[in-house]
Chain A
Amino acid sequence: MKVSMTVNGKAVSGEAEGRTLLSSFLRDGLGLTGTHVGCDTSQCGACVVHVDGKAVKSCTVFAADAAGANVTTIEGMANPDGTLGTLQQAFQDHHGLQCGFCTPGMVMSAAALLADNPKPTAAEVRHHLEGNICRCTGYHNIVKAVLAASGQDADRIAAE
């Protein structure tokens, strides 16, 4: 079947089977390989994208269920001139990534948090990122990056 949706502001369509996951549709169908598949078992959050503004695990949504929706992926988070968006830049500035595999999901989950709660506390950031697993950073710098992106003084958060 043909599935159409809006991805990062552009109307797209592609062939999908019933079982085609949104993650496969984005990566294999549209070549948007910024969305990472870490576990494929709904546990790690690397594949988080926004569907109609809500963070979801794209490995656990069928492409056909997102037909007609407005989807934002990590490729849609840069500024229009191609430079890194505020949240992305904050991850770089605060060393919020090492291998970078979890980062697309981290950024998408954090963006959803900031849209809802523009000035979260460190505890709220940690709680919100519970479904995003990082094997490298120890999370501390990720929390710092999100706080910095929200315009708060990230250097004052206590080390845990």
Chain B
Amino acid sequence: MYNFDFVKPTSLADAVKAMAQEDAQALGGGQTLIPTLKQRLASPAVLVSLSGIAEMKGVCVGDDGALCIGGATPHATVAKEAAAKFPALAALAAGIGDPAVRNRGTIGGSLANNDPSACYPSAVLATGATIVTNTRKIAADDFFEGLFTTALEPGEIITEVRFPVPERGAYAKFQQPASRFALTGAFVAKYGSGVRVAITGASENGVFRWTEAEKALSANFSAGALDGLTVPSDGLIGDLHGTPAYRANLVKVMTKRAVASA
């Protein structure tokens, strides 16, 4: 690992200042970034730890009823503190990695990283959540731009994520047992205005909305409503764990499971 200066601000204002330095990078829980640094795939000059910023941590309910999660909140905290208000999201957080990963890894880090097999992006996209940064609010539909790519500008910090809580919702993950990431995962969220479905782990472009399923489920919210649908395997991930056709099938299977458990 190349060396860097390490700073640990205690306020968002100081973090924003620190991030303005040349080649500065944010450090959330480090559960992705530290392995990346060890491989010398990143070489920041300054690493700005966000784990000492109290105003960026915690779970609360906003005036509009949305569930608000601070950008530096670890998965383990979401698993506990979101359980009453948004059980599907708490269950997703409780299923990320292992307990030690959940004690460090954060929602902001997961979203900024936008791994094509990560869990949180599916919840954010399926609920149409809002990503709040130090400069603006970004709608989920505009945030995820492809493999490990997001709408974030250099130096921009995710300070909060606001989830409109669905009437019914669930996440179903087919776990890749070695990495514990999603081989394919589906998040289903039902609102008065319709149903949204987001799929992770399957596409080479990262998380996406399965709009045919959304239409079918908005008309009839039952696993059977998906029977007639097929998912094309073009552009889906193929690796030693599964072919594109296998993942195409999993998209449907996991969406059905999510609907059945919502």
Contacts and interface: CB of A to CB of B under 8 A. Distances in A.
A42 B31 contact: yes
B4 A48 contact: no
Interface string A48-61: 10000011110111
Nearest to A62: B6
5 contacts: A18-B4, A18-B47, A57-B104, A60-B30, A61-B34
- Most interface-central of B37, B47, B101 (chain A CB within 10 A): B101
> Is chain A's interface secondary structure helix, strand, loop, or mixed overall?
mixed
Q: Which 7 A-B pairs have the closest CB atoms?
A: A131-B98, A18-B6, A54-B103, A64-B6, A18-B4, A130-B98, A19-B1
Given A112-B99, A130-B98, A65 B4 contact: no
A45 interface: yes
Task: Categorize the interface residue count of chain A.
Answer: 20 to 34
A65 B51 contact: yes
B30 A61 contact: yes
Contact of A18 (B3, B35, B100, B180): B3
Contacts of A109: 99-100
A61 B51 CA distance: 11
> Is chain B's interface secondary structure helix, strand, loop, or mixed overall?
mixed
A4 to B, nearest CB: 13
A17 to B, nearest CB: 5
Contact of B38 (A40, A64, A112, A132): A40
A106 to B, nearest CB: 12
Contacts of A42: 31, 34-35, 101
Contact of A48 (B34, B38, B97, B100): B100
Contacts of B35: 41-42, 60
B99 A131 contact: yes
A17 B37 CA distance: 14
A54 B79 CA distance: 15
A6 B4 CA distance: 24
B1 A60 contact: no
Given A42-B101, A54-B76, A60 B6 contact: no
A125 to B, nearest CB: 12
Given A18-B3, A45-B98, A130-B180, A61 B104 contact: yes
B137 interface: no
Contact of B99 (A17, A60, A62, A128): A128
Contacts of A56: 100, 103-104
A65 B99 contact: no
A30 to B, nearest CB: 19
Contacts of B37: 19
Nearest to B74: A54
A48 B104 CA distance: 12
Given A19-B1, A55-B100, A60-B34, 9 more contacts: A18-B4, A19-B37, A41-B35, A42-B101, A56-B100, A64-B8, A64-B49, A109-B99, A131-B99
A42 B37 CA distance: 12
A133 B220 CA distance: 44
A18 B5 contact: yes
B195 interface: no
Contacts of B3: 17-19
Interface string B36-51: 0110000000010101
Contacts of B101: 42, 57, 131
Interface in A4-50: 17-19, 21, 40-42, 45, 48
A154 interface: no
Contacts of B30: 60-62, 65
